[in-house]
Structure formats: structure tokens, C-alpha cells
């Protein structure tokens, strides 16, 4: 666990009792308090915002406008050609019979390549938009500026309102030349209308409310580097309205929370469903209910999530996507355990599929389910301000486009996170991707690293 | 509720009312057609054919299941026959080929005995296709049922050798193809070739699904490169419109032009795998010839059956028993339709279909060469 992460979690720990997280926060090196608090607040999980953002409104000590950010620079190498596509596989669409998201190289979920290659006739093989963003490095080792992130946070002095904007720049050398993508990752305003209650209403483009992995979307908060094989379904930001409410049960050191959002596209990542407009006119509703137990040396958080609404890569309002999930996190004595189960069901919709990557042909009936589980342990080394946290994650995903080949894949990720103070994190990890059933075996393991400079 | 809130709610509701609705897109393959046959139902229900086509026009019941029916047409001015194994609605430029694997012990000379073909994309998929990229998978001397997924073959075959394209519609195992000319052309007593049959398997989450397939042979279609990959190019098939603008599927159609090779066993059209249906709007006075309605003309023709159902630009020529049939302007080829009627009377529909030609110029077409 990094110092910054610990600080965020500590702030989120709903009672400032002398627990593990608070201790970590206290151990953190001194930095300008207001700036650090602000930095910890802007990225932290929305489910925890109510605590970070006291219902009494803005802190009178806080500067009204705080600008923070981070730079994530990586070096990655994928096996093979950087894709999950077998060179002799000519099924149409090619991306339906493999997992193109497997060879991820950074915290954005970008893969080394999505180049489909050509068929025996020399024609590009057909893919149909079940694709992540690509870093475009193929099998060639390369430095990558994964993300240059800038956050602007304005807190009103008069009313309990906060306005937040997150912009990210992603430079890539495409086949057409050098380009820098600019993503408006988040842009929302949030009001806490009731002083005596942990209730926050956000309107704009904001984080997902489904599950827990969205909490780690940003490289400076993620213990590891790459997202799970399920992040594509649960971690996308979208535009709409969100309400968060938490009720504390102090006598039993517990709290219940509810996070509900109605958005254009739900929680799929933008490469699968764009969020900037609704194609159906009907919002997607997602919600998570959570319970947390916070004892002095033990913290347990569990939750259940659901999502339903028209899929936003087509325009038939009757074509539904339905997701269910369950998640759990346990923090005890430097050990962090977390995991999530996700089930996805998308109905077949209208043709002329539109995603964040462009237009494709048909939308297909699709099912997927699986889980990920992660363990991380911050070694108790007396070398402050250095923190060393080895981690490992296992995940298994089953997916099927109806009457196409059903596939089962798994992935083992192992890595090391070294934090130095609050402004530097160095991470390295290795991904072992395996095609267990339905998908041809390909060499698509990845070794990747990340240096995150936070300011 | 305040008036502002009411306005906001109404605004959101109106925004929702502008949302789009379902655009119909359907595929009827032999599994769907047989199901419709068993239910005495229709297929290809669409804007072009609101009532659809009775499944019994495409399949007939047999003692063992069902059998393909040959449908009448004219191609290049001569009687022709084809069979329908798939119909797509709203799939134009959206039919791709799929890989099919034949298992061989060695590099292309000795097949694994009784091993079925291996496929991955089944008949329920939007991306189902009867057009296959055939590959030889060299797997050694293995049991015939060892492999039933393309992933397993890609993992374990020592070689994957591309072997061209073939048109092989999947079929329920009880659908056969003992082809025969339909009435009234059955009077010619021309025997048609039986379409070779085989079997294919696919893995469905550990279960092996078995399908039959018809093999209509190689080179019945061409591919064209689109932004979304190489798709099967459709040739035009013309269907005459009724007075109400819907398609008259009871009369013979006109098949578009294409390459024909001359084989030892007869002429072999090298096209016809995939057709796009075009609606032909007829001018007043045009109509099909039926000998029973014009006995004098029928008796004058050397082979009156060859004109049965053939459309003429001016149907009054059927009454002139002195000049029939040469005195008629026949609408019996793509060139005739385009030159006599003009493109303005030929309108593409949303329907495409498979339709291998099995009969032409009063000869059986060698379907698997």
C-alpha cells in the first residue's frame, strides 16, 4: 500500500480510530497538509467521498482551487505480436473468439496491440469492436508515457459544493503519425445538501459505482499496474447523475452505504461504449450497496452491485445490458485482500455498432462471468519513507458471443510496488495469460513497469 | 411538485420518446426453415415480402425428414433452377466467410477417416455463414473424434494449409438433397445431381454439436474487401413485383449474369453462392406466360415448357400464335432487364439469399466440381 493510498484510505476510514490505515497515514512523511489532503480527496473512491468531504461543506482552511496530478511513465514488453490473435485464426469477427484485453501494459488497460493482421488473401482480418485501446507497441519493448494527468478541484466557500475536472493526455505514435489523445476523464459537480447526513449528489461525468475496481482506476492509486480482465465492464466513467449515501452504525463500528447512478452508458469502458451521449434516450442505472466494518486492526468491506439499462453501443432502447457483482476487501496487519465476482449479460441489438473506437457492424448477444482476487502485503521494513509491497492477482474469465466459440481464459499477475514518499511510486509486474478453452493458445504474456510521479 | 420540476420531467420523457427502436435483422438457415416447415409457417417475412415465403416452397417433407426443393428461374434467357438454403434480411455487405477445417493425417493426401469437418461458428450466430475458408489441418493419425474445436486444431495441428473457398450450408441432419425439377419442368425428366453431404462439429462449452452440411463445391462466390473485412459479394437475383409492390415469389425469378465454365459434365456457373434480391417494377402490359391460358401459343412453341412463367414486356404477344415465342420481348436475363426496363425499375431489397444453381440450359449442373 502506498503512502498516498494509505492516506486516502485513512481519510476514508469512517472513524479516525487508531487503526491500521490511520497509523499508516500518520507515518506518512510530512507534506503541505492542505495540498496533500486535497490530492488524497480528488481521486479517492466516490463511496468514500462523504467522509472526505464533510457534510459541513468546504473546510475554511482549504484553498478554493487545488491543482494536482500525476505522470505515469512505463516500459513494457509483450510476447508475440502484442495481441491475443492467433496468426492462423480467420474466424470472423476475430475479436469474438479470443480475449483482446489480455495483453494489457498499463493502468489505462491499453494493450500492446490490437492489430488484427491479414488473412491468407491479404485482406485485414475482421474485428467487430470488442477491443481495448492500444498502445501500439506490438511485441517491441518500449517506453510509454502512459498518462499525464491533471486534476482541478474547486471547493465553494459559501455552499457545500465541489467541482472537479480530470484531464488526461496520452501521447502515442500511431501508424498515421504522432498524436496525443486528450481524455476528459471526469468533470462533475457535487453537492452535499444535508449537513447532518453523509449524502452527496454528483452531476456530470464521474467514476463508476459498480464494484470496487474503479477505485483503482488511476495509476497513483492502483497497487499494481494493469487492470483486471473485468475492468472493461465495471470501471468506465460516464455522464449522468449519482447519489451516495452512507449511514454509520457507530456502536458496532460499522457503516452501510448506497451508491446509485443513472448515466448514458453505465460502467463499460469507453472503448466498448461511449459515454458522451445516449444513443437510446434511456439511462443505464447502476448501484452498489456496501457494508463496512472498521475495527482497530481490521477493516472489512463487502458490497453487491447491479446494473441494467440499454446498451449504449446501439440505439434500440429495448436491448438491455445487465450486470451483477459482489466484492470484498479485507485489510489486516499490512495485508490487503480484495476480490470481485462479475457477471455480464448483453442482448443483441441494432446494427451499426458505435463504440469509443469507431463504428462496427452488428451488436451481438454476449455473456461473461468470472472473478479476480488480489493479495498485497506491505513489508514491515524500517526504511521509511520507502514502502515495499509485493502483490499478486489471479483472475479467470469465461465469455461467449452466442453461437461463437465460448472461451475461458485466466491470468496470473505478480509484481512489486515500491513507494518513496508521496511523490514517487515504482512498480513492476508480470502477466501470465492463459487460454484455457475455446481460444487458441498464443504467446501474449506481458512484462511491464510503471513509474508514477505525483504532484 | 413545482412547475419547473414538471417541465424537467416532461423534457426527459420527450427526450426518451425520440429514442430509436429495433431494426429487424434476421437470418433463416436450414434450421430455421425446417422449423418453419414443421410449424407450417413462412420465412423471409420482411418489408419486401410482408407475408413471407412458405417454408414448404423451399423444403418438402420426406420420409426421413425434409428435402431441398428446386426453384425455377431464368438465367441468360434459359431455364434454370436453384435451391435456397439461407435467407438474410438486412445483412447486405455483411456476410463473411468462416474457417472450416478438414483433418488430414499428412499434408493433404490422406484424410483422417470419418473425421467430421471442424467449425466454430454455429447456425445460431449472427455471423453464421455457409461460405467457408477451407483449411487442411495436419493432425497425424488420430481418432476421428479427437478434435472438435478450431482452437484445438490451431494448437495441435502441425500444419494449417489454406485450401480455397467452398459453399457448404449447414443443415439439420435429417435434411437431404435428392434434387428434382419442380412442376411443370419435371416433365422434361432431367435427373439432377444429388448434392454431396457431410458433417461438421463444433465445441459448445465442452459439448460437441454435430451438424450436417451440403457441399455445393468451390468457386461459387467472390470476396470484396470492405472496411470491415472481406465480405461475400452478392449477385443480383430479380423478382418481379406484384401490382401492390410486393414480390411475386410464385413465378420464376431471373438470375443475374456471371462466369460460367464448361465442365465435362456440363456448364458450371461459377457464381450464385450469394444473391441479393432486386424488385422488378413492371410496366403495364407485362406479364408471365402460362401455356394453359394461351393454348394456341403454347402449341406453336417447340418447347412450351421453356417459356412457362417467363415474363414478357408486352403480354399481348402471347395472343399472337403466328409469332410466338420469337415475337415477344422476354425479360429473362439481367441484360434484358437492364436494357429493356432500365435501372429505374430495378430496386434492391433488404433480402439476400444463398442459391446455388443446380440446373441450367436444360442440363443438370455438376454441383460439386
Per-residue pLDDT reduced to its tens digit, B31-83: 999 999 999 999 999 888 888 999 999 999 998 899 999 999 999 999 999 99
Enumerate residue ranges in chain B where pLDDT < 50.
1, 9-10, 13-14, 16-19
Angle at B112 (CA atoms; ends B216, B148), nearest 5 degrees: 80
Report the chain A residue with the minimal C-alpha distance to residue B208. Answer: A405
Q: Please state, in angstroms and rounded to a whole number, the distance separating the CA atoms of residues A283 and A312.
A: 9
The ipTM is 0.88
Per-residue pLDDT reduced to its tens digit, A29-71: 332 332 333 333 333 444 444 333 333 444 445 689 999 999 9
The grid cell for B112 is 483422417
**Cβ contact (<8 Å) for B228 and A401?**
no
pLDDT band at A122; cut points 50, 70, 90: confident
Residues of B in contact with A120 (CB under 8 A): 133, 162
Residue among A280, A361, A438 minimizing CB distance to B94: A361
Per-residue pLDDT reduced to its tens digit, A361-386: 999 999 999 999 999 999 999 999 99
Q: Please state, in angstroms and rounded to a whole number, the distance separating the CA atoms of residues A148 and A167.
A: 8
CA nearest to B285, candidates B328, B322, B249, B251: B328
In this complex, is the C-beta atom of B229 within 8 Å of any C-beta atom belonging to chain A? yes
Q: Collapse the DSSP code of A381 into the 3-class scheme (helix H, G, I; strand E, B; otherwise coil) and give the result.
A: coil
pLDDT for res A23: 30
pLDDT for res B11: 52
Q: Please state, in angstroms and rounded to a whole number, the distance separating the CA atoms of residues B23 and B32.
A: 20
In this complex, is the C-beta atom of A118 within 8 Å of any C-beta atom belonging to chain B? no
pLDDT for res B271: 87
Distance from the Cα of B31 to chain A's closest Cα (Å) equals: 14
pLDDT for res B21: 76
Distance from the Cα of A379 to chain B's closest Cα (Å) equals: 42
Q: Which of residues 35-94 of B touch A (CB under 8 A)?
A: 90, 94
Identify the CATH class of A3-454.
mainly beta
Report the chain A residue with the minimal C-alpha distance to residue B160. Answer: A88
Q: Which of residues 266-285 of B touch A (CB under 8 A)?
A: none
Give the residue-averaged pLDDT of A230-253.
97
pLDDT for res B3: 55
Residues of A in contact with B123 (CB under 8 A): 403
Residue among A360, A361, A402 minimizing CB distance to B124: A402
Model confidence, pTM: 0.89
pLDDT for res A15: 30
What's the helix, strand, coil split of chain A in %, to 5? 10, 45, 45
Residue ranges per domain, chain A?
Answer: 3-454
Report the chain B residue with the minimal C-alpha distance to residue A353. Answer: B228
pLDDT for res B49: 86
Q: Please state, in angstroms and rounded to a whole number, the distance separating the CA atoms of residues A90 and B341.
A: 42
pLDDT for res B84: 97
Per-residue pLDDT reduced to its tens digit, A414-453: 999 999 999 999 999 999 999 999 999 999 999 999 999 9
**DSSP label at residue B306:** G
Distance from the Cα of A127 to chain B's closest Cα (Å) equals: 7
Give the residue-averaged pLDDT of A274-292.
97
Give the residue-averaged pLDDT of A267-276.
98
Query: Does A20 have pLDDT greater than 50?
Result: no
Per-residue pLDDT reduced to its tens digit, A68-84: 999 999 999 999 999 99
Q: Which of residues 331-350 of A touch B (CB under 8 A)?
A: 348, 350
Per-residue pLDDT reduced to its tens digit, A178-221: 999 999 999 999 999 998 999 999 999 999 999 999 999 999 99
More reliable by pLDDT, A405 or A173: A173
CA nearest to A440, candidates B118, B366, B18: B118
Which of B8, B122, B230, B350 should one mutate to test binding to chain A, selecting the residue with the greatest count of A CBs within 10 A?
B230
pLDDT band at A24; cut points 50, 70, 90: very low
pLDDT for res B12: 53
pLDDT for res A121: 83
Residue B284 dihedral angles phi and psi, to the nearest 5° = -60, 140
**Interface size, chain A vs chain B, as Cβ–Cβ contacts under 8 Å:** 132
Amino acid at each position: 500500500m502506498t503512502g498516498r493510498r494509505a492516506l486516502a484510505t485513512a481519510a476514508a476510514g469512517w472513524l479516525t480510530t487508531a487503526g491500521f490505515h490511520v497509523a499508516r497515514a500518520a507515518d506518512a512523511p510530512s507534506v503541505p497538509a492542505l495540498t496533500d489532503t486535497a490530492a488524497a480527496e480528488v481521486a479517492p473512491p466516490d463511496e468514500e467521498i462523504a467522509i472526505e468531504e464533510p457534510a459541513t461543506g468546504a473546510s475554511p482552511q482549504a484553498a478554493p482551487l487545488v491543482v494536482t496530478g500525476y505522470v505515469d511513465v512505463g516500459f513494457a514488453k509483450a510476447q508475440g505480436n502484442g495481441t491475443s490473435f492467433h496468426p492462423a485464426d480467420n474466424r470472423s469477427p476475430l475479436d469474438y473468439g479470443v480475449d483482446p484485453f489480455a495483453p494489457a501494459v498499463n493502468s489505462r488497460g491499453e494493450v500492446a496491440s490490437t492489430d488484427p493482421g491479414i488473412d491468407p488473401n491479404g485482406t485485414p482480418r475482421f474485428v467487430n469492436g470488442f477491443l481495448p485501446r492500444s498502445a501500439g507497441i506490438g511485441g517491441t519493448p518500449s517506453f510509454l508515457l502512459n498518462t499525464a494527468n491533471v486534476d482541478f478541484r474547486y471547493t465553494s466557500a459559501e455552499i457545500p459544493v465541489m467541482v472537479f475536472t480530470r484531464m488526461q493526455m496520452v501521447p502515442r505514435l500511431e501508424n498515421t503519425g504522432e498524436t496525443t489523445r486528450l481524455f476528459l476523464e471526469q468533470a462533475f459537480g457535487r453537492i452535499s445538501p444535508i449537513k447532518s447526513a453523509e449524502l452527496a449528489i454528483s452531476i456530470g461525468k464521474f467514476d463508476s459505482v459498480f464494484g470496487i475496481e474503479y477505485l483503482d482506476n488511476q495509476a497513483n492509486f492502483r497497487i499494481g499496474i494493469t487492470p483486471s480482465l473485468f475492468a472493461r465492464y465495471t470501471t468506465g466513467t460516464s455522464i449522468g447523475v449519482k447519489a451516495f449515501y452512507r449511514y454509520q452504525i457507530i456502536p458496532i463500528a460499522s457503516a452501510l452505504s448506497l451508491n446509485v447512478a443513472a448515466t448514458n452508458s453505465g460502467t463499460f469502458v469507453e472503448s466498448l461504449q461511449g459515454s458522451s451521449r445516449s444513443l437510446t434516450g434511456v439511462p443505464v442505472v447502476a448501484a452498489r450497496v456496501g457494508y463496512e466494518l472498521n475495527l482497530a486492526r481490521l477493516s472489512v468491506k463487502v458490497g453487491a452491485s447491479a446494473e441494467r439499462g440499454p446498451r449504449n453501443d446501439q440505439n434500440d432502447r429495448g436491448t438491455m445490458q445487465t450486470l451483477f457483482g459482489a466484492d470484498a476487501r479485507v485489510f489486516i496487519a499490512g495485508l490487503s485482500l480484495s476480490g470481485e465476482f462479475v457477471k455480464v449479460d448483453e442482448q443483441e441489438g441494432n446494427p451499426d455498432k458505435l463504440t469509443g473506437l469507431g463504428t462496427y457492424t452488428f451488436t451481438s448477444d454476449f455473456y461473461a462471468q468470472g472473478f479476480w482476487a488480489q493479495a498485497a502485503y506491505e513489508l514491515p521494513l524500517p526504511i521509511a519513507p520507502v514502502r515495499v509491497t509485493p502483490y499478486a492477482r489471479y483472475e479467470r474469465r469465461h465469455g461467449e458471443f452466442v453461437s461463437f466459440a465460448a472461451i475461458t481464459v485466466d491470468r496470473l499477475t505478480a509484481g512489486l510496488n515500491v513507494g518513496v514518499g508521496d511523490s514517487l511510486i515504482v512498480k513492476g509486474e508480470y502477466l501470465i495469460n492463459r487460454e484455457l478453452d475455446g481460444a487458441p493458445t498464443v504467446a501474449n504474456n506481458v512484462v511491464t513497469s510503471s513509474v508514477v510521479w505525483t504532484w | 411538485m413545482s412547475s419547473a420540476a414538471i417541465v424537467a420531467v416532461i423534457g426527459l420523457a420527450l427526450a426518451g420518446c425520440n429514442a430509436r427502436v429495433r431494426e429487424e435483422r434476421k437470418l433463416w438457415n436450414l434450421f430455421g426453415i425446417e422449423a418453419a416447415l414443421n410449424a407450417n409457417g413462412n420465412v423471409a417475412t420482411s418489408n419486401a415480402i410482408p407475408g413471407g415465403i412458405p417454408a414448404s416452397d423451399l423444403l418438402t417433407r420426406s420420409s426421413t425428414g425434409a428435402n431441398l426443393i428446386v426453384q425455377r428461374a431464368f438465367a441468360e434467357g434459359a431455364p434454370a433452377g436453384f435451391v435456397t438454403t439461407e435467407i438474410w434480411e438486412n445483412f447486405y455487405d455483411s456476410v463473411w466467410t468462416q474457417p472450416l477445417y478438414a483433418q488430414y493425417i499428412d499434408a493433404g493426401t490422406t484424410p483422417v477417416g470419418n473425421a467430421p469437418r471442424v467449425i466454430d461458428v454455429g447456425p445460431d450466430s449472427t455471423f453464421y455463414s455457409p461460405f467457408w475458408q477451407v483449411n487442411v489441418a495436419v493432425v497425424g493419425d488420430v481418432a476421428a473424434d479427437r478434435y472438435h474445436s478450431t482452437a484445438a486444431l490451431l494448437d495441435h495441428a502441425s500444419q494449417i494449409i489454406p485450401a480455397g473457398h467452398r459453399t457448404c450450408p449447414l443443415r439439420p441432419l435429417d435434411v437431404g438433397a435428392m434434387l428434382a425439377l419442380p412442376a411443370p419442368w419435371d416433365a422434361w425428366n432431367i435427373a439432377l445431381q444429388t448434392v454431396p453431404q457431410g458433417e461438421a462439429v463444433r465445441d459448445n462449452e465442452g459439448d460437441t454439436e454435430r451438424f450436417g452440411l451440403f457441399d455445393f463445391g468451390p468457386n461459387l462466390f467472390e470476396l470484396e474487401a470492405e472496411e470491415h473485412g472481406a465480405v461475400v459479394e452478392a449477385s443480383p437475383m430479380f423478382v418481379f413485383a406484384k401490382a401492390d409492390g410486393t414480390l411475386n415469389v410464385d413465378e420464376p425469378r431471373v438470375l443475374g449474369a456471371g462466369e460460367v465454365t464448361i465442365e465435362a459434365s456440363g456448364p458450371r456457373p461459377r457464381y450464385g453462392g450469394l444473391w441479393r434480391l432486386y424488385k422488378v417494377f413492371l410496366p403495364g402490359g407485362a406479364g408471365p406466360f402460362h401455356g394453359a391460358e394461351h393454348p394456341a401459343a403454347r402449341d406453336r412453341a417447340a418447347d412450351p415448357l421453356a417459356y412457362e412463367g417467363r415474363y414478357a414486356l408486352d403480354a399481348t404477344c402471347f395472343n399472337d400464335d403466328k409469332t410466338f415465342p420469337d415475337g415477344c420481348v422476354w425479360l429473362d436475363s439481367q441484360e434484358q432487364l437492364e436494357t429493356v426496363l432500365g435501372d429505374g425499375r430495378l430496386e434492391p431489397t433488404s433480402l439476400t439469399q444463398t442459391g446455388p444453381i443446380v440446373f441450367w440450359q436444360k442440363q443438370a449442373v455438376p454441383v460439386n466440381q
